[in-house]
Amino acid sequence: MTNYSKASTINKYLKISAVVFAILVLIYNIFVTGTGYSFIPHKTIVFSIGGIIIVIVLSFGIYATILNLKIIKKLKKVCDINNISPHILEAEFNSLAIKLHRGIGLQITK
């Protein structure tokens, strides 16, 4: 559950940062490019900040995905050891995880 709690927290911050990035792009488009300012001096600053934000968001997303894959691997191992149906374990884990951490749950079976 520790990995799931970390992953759900990271997912929450990813959603918030995506919304903030969209708002920043909207504000930039309205106030800077909508006026008579030249885009050339701001070009490197805007692309640098945008690139840094995108790299940070992608790295957090990859980290959260790795945590989720570790959890799925452990849950599949529990299914094999205890001879439990993956559907039942998935339903139980998701109900517990969603109730405790307000996450989105995991999909063990396809």
| Residue 51 in domain | yes
Which domain does 12 fall in, by range? 2-101
Rounded Cα–Cα distance for residues 87 and 110 (Å): 10
**Spatial CB neighbours of 5, under 8 Å, sequence gap ≥ 6:** 100, 101
- Specify if 29 maps to a domain: yes
pTM, two decimals, is 0.65
What pLDDT score does 108 carry?
Answer: 73
User: What does the pLDDT read at residue 47?
Assistant: 76
pLDDT per position as a tens digit, 67-105: 888 888 888 888 888 888 888 888 887 787 777 777 677
For residue 34, is it within any domain?
yes
Number of domains in the chain: 1
In a domain, 30, yes or no: yes
User: Which pLDDT value is given to residue 104?
Assistant: 72
Assess if residue 75 is contained within a domain: yes
Taking only the tens place, the pLDDT of each residue in 22-66 is 888 787 777 766 665 555 566 677 778 778 888 888 888 888 888
